[in-house]
Amino acid sequence: MTRSKMISRRHGVTRREAIAAIAGATATLIGCGRSRGERQLVRFWTIGREGEVATTLIQDFVAAHPEIEVEVQKMPLTAAHEKLLTAYAGDTLPDLCQLGNTWIPEFAALHALEPLGARVAASKVIDPADYFTEIFNSNRVDDELFGVPWYVDTRLLFYRRDLLQKAGFDHPPTHWAEWEQMLGAIKEHEGHDKYSVLLPLNEFEPLLVLALQQPSELLRDAGRFGNFRSDDFKRVMSFYRNIFERGWAPRATNTQISNVWDEFGKGYFSFYISGPWNIAEFKLRMPENLKDAWMTAPMPGPNGPGASSAGGSSLVVFSSSKAKEAAWQLAEHLSTSASQSRFYDLTGNMPPRRSSWEVPALVQSPYARAFREQLDRVRSPPKVPEWERIATQMRLAGERVVQGKESIEDAVADLDRETDEILEKRRWMMDRDHADRSHAGAS
């Protein structure tokens, strides 16, 4: 299970898990009052692996602040979204929380998040200029800041250096045309039962990354309508389709591949678009003789180095919290360069601050270098609560095109129609709020 957190979040929730979430939330409610005696309690919820190290990270903080007690809760990744929504419905949200930055628009729409703009402006620790700009801005919804980045996540190329060399190239691709040449050469060299690149049909991320490289917006009119009929997106679609039509990528899902690392080692494919967590996985799983055969590279773009998606997790304070000040202090503690370097040592999560990247562990890692470069070239997907559903429709449209079921023209028209339908409620609410406001202004 990879940590494609924000993205594959809502998969895997059974009714039992939902009930467990409710039970868990209830237990939290009963188990701990908001304050015990003099000390103020900060409830901090984390997701998955980060939860295991959070306790270590807050030790200094707890020692320095005897008046604050911190209670760390771990949520499993697959149940986190439901658990948070259940907690929201039951009014038992914690004070501080780790939240995928693609979830922020959704929780902002629920009015569950405390705006942090003023706190950040007054903070001595958090300097927005030190953060990767787009990663920081991914926490803004309609000009209001709702979170502070905790770690970053973006997608780029993992590739087999040796196979690329055999095909006659000594460097990774920098733009689409060059990438296509390489894909063709590798296919030629490796034969018909091998592929040049793996773009799993059950993931929307590869297609999304390619789409974000184009200047056009994916949604138009402030997220009211789909904009997939744009020439830019059609170009992305034909680039994507071509990769499958030429036989450079298998028409397969991740679950069919069974073991991505193993197949990468066998040379079943030479390029793979993935995120930072796979550095540790590949280090661990590549066979001994191929230890140095792989490398990471920034995404090639249409005409030169390209953008990728601005992902990651942020720290947010919920507006229902009774301990906002203490929660904010903890968020500041977790955002210091020292904490972030430590966090990287413990988890391999990449820090969102430029100054945190100056530690030897990161400077010396050849695999991290491409990420450092990519992070200055990232872009957020549209910030509407409905985005993930739209992205899923986009993936399905891509699948129909590469399977030859639909032409690109039809697919993007269908996709726009589906997107407009998904956004219908949002349009209704925006129009209503707009009418209310102009009405209030008139009277």
Partner 1 sequence: MKVRNVGWWFVAPAVIVLGVFFFLPVLAALAMSVTDFDLYALSDSANLRFVGLQNYGRLLSEPLFWKALGNTLYFVVLGVPLSISASLGAALLVNSKVARLRNFFRTVFFAPVVTTLVAVAVVWRYIFHTRYGFLNYGLSEFGIGPIDWMGDPHWAMPAIVILAVWKNFGYNMIILLAALQSIPEDLYEAARIDGASGWQLFRHVTLPSLAPVLMLVSILTMTGYFQLFAEPYVMTEGGPLQSTLSVLYFMYEEGFKWWSLGRASAVAFLLFVLMFAVTVLQLRIGRREANV
CA angle in degrees (0–180, nearest 5) for 202-285-52 = 80
Distance, CA of 236 to CA of 213 (rounded, Å) = 9
CB of 116 to partner 1, least distance (A): 19
- Quick one: 283 or 405, whose CB is closer to partner 1? 405
Taking alpha carbons only, the member of 372, 333, 324 closest to residue 94 is: 324
* E strand spans, 253-401: 271-274, 294-297, 308-309, 311-317, 378-379
Q: What is the DSSP letter of 128?
A: G
CB of 251 to partner 1, least distance (A): 6
CB of 273 to partner 1, least distance (A): 19
CB of 7 to partner 1, least distance (A): 13
CB of 41 to partner 1, least distance (A): 26
- Quick one: 20 or 110, whose CB is closer to partner 1? 110
- Quick one: 102 or 347, whose CB is closer to partner 1? 102
- Quick one: 81 or 377, whose CB is closer to partner 1? 81
- Quick one: 264 or 357, whose CB is closer to partner 1? 264
Taking alpha carbons only, the member of 9, 1, 47 closest to residue 281 is: 1
* 6: number of Cβ within 10 Å: 23
CB of 197 to partner 1, least distance (A): 16
CB of 22 to partner 1, least distance (A): 13
Distance of CA 436 to the CA centre of its chain: 35
* E strand spans, 221-282: 225-226, 271-274
Structure tokens at 287: 């066979």
- Quick one: 165 or 202, whose CB is closer to partner 1? 202
- Quick one: 127 or 436, whose CB is closer to partner 1? 436
- Quick one: 238 or 403, whose CB is closer to partner 1? 403
CB of 9 to partner 1, least distance (A): 9
Distance, CA of 431 to CA of 413 (rounded, Å) = 24
Distance, CA of 300 to CA of 178 (rounded, Å) = 9
Residues at the contact surface with partner 1, assessed by CB under 8 A: 10-11, 13, 18, 82, 85, 88-89, 106, 109-112, 201-202, 251-253, 255-256, 258, 385, 389, 396, 399-400, 403, 405, 425, 428-429
Structure tokens at 210: 């390619």
* 258: number of Cβ within 10 Å: 8
Distance, CA of 146 to CA of 108 (rounded, Å) = 7
